[in-house]
Amino acid sequence: MADSTSPVWHPFTQHALTEPPLNIVRAEGAYLNTQDGRTILDAISSWWVNTHGHGHPHIVQAIRNQAALLEQVIFAGFTHEPAEQLARKLLALAPKGLAHVFFSDSGSTSVEVAIKMAVGCWHNRGHPRHRIIAMEHAYHGDMFGAMAVGQRGIFNAPYDPMLFDVARIPFPARGSEERTIDTLAALLRESPDSFAALIVEPLVLGAGGMKMYRPDVLSQIAAWCRHYGIFLIADEVMTGFGRTGTLFACEQGGVAPDLMCLSKGLTGGFLPMGVTLATAEIYDSFYSTDRTKTFFHSSSYTGNAIACAAAVANLEVWEREPVAERIQAIAEHHVQALAPFRGRAEVADARQTGTIAAIELRVPDAGYLATLGPKLNAFYLEQDILLRSLGNVVYLLPPYCVRAGELDRIYGAIDASLSFVRV
């Protein structure tokens, strides 16, 4: 049903086929409140951004204070304490070797920056390299560079001829991990001097369908990159800030990437911001009295002071509250709750990494698949639960304030939906 009264064009929305959007007036903890008085349980952290719950008072206060003091200043030639403090805090927590923080506005921009830094570094070294290796089913954002390294499909088909060519390694599905590593090794052996970097989502491929792989595979990928001297870009835009059970997913593979992209959970889900963390080696290749070696990249709002203050406050919540324990409790709850789904006729796979749980449904054909997601989402929403399945993959990615009873309610709705989807 088209919503003909609003001029707003919504993301990933076919306005000819969808109901008018729900109007949200307030949010608190794990709940969204609609204009017409409904209270909806946010089981996907508002598209994976919210970490500690909506309206966390500490982050609210930090934003208030900063807005009254300094909202924004040009970030070339100027700096401010929230940015300096955030950079120091992030580097203290990040995998070792990362030594510099570059600010931008979103996950996509943090990826664009990482790719430009990797390629720019090889340029500055006098050994230009322009090829990137990426993983099948990857999602790195919707800008042109980010689309190029992501999985090609209906989402980016109109732009396909404009996207640069990328070498692919297969997704390391259970049982076929060797194929991934062998493909990578073969690519690197064949043309060791042509690749600038490999980009990968550590442990969980989010938009690709919450596909999960083993930490030791990530370690092996990192080892091959290191062996051949190509940069490893860890896109932790979704996996960062506790989603996979550790603060960063790279930790589980003992991996120290050359570049790391962060965004979604960075400000606790309050304000748009991205950062790209880089090693001293990469930074130093741009450090020169030769101006042409400058990293010529910026966006107007880069290093926004209010967003930086929100991000600092987000990290302070990690310091002050038992966030790691909450994450552990969610992970344990998932393990228990997923078990009964395994072996059911409607379920092809049920998997979990940290706070992320995914139930992959069996689908008879592609036509059925196309209509399944919207049907499921509508069914959950009728019960005041916000879930947004990725095709036939229903997943939970809750804010860390979620309670056991609320998780049970979500699993109950998913359980009920299984019989619903069969008819």
**Interacting residues with ligand PLP (CB under 6 A):** 106-108, 111, 139-141, 201, 206-207, 235, 237-238, 263
To ligand PLP, the closest distance from the beta carbon of 271 in angstroms equals 12
Give the residue nearest to ligand PLP (CB): 107
Full strand arrangement of the beta sheet holding 98-104: 98-104, 274-279, 259-262, 231-235, 195-200, 131-135, 167-169
Q: Which is nearer to ligand PLP, 180 or 417 (CB)?
A: 180
To ligand PLP, the closest distance from the beta carbon of 66 in angstroms equals 21
Q: Which is nearer to ligand PLP, 139 or 400 (CB)?
A: 139
To ligand PLP, the closest distance from the beta carbon of 274 in angstroms equals 7
Q: Which is nearer to ligand PLP, 206 or 354 (CB)?
A: 206
To ligand PLP, the closest distance from the beta carbon of 204 in angstroms equals 9
To ligand PLP, the closest distance from the beta carbon of 172 in angstroms equals 16
Q: Which is nearer to ligand PLP, 95 or 124 (CB)?
A: 95
Q: Which is nearer to ligand PLP, 205 or 256 (CB)?
A: 205
To ligand PLP, the closest distance from the beta carbon of 139 in angstroms equals 5
Q: Which is nearer to ligand PLP, 12 or 78 (CB)?
A: 12
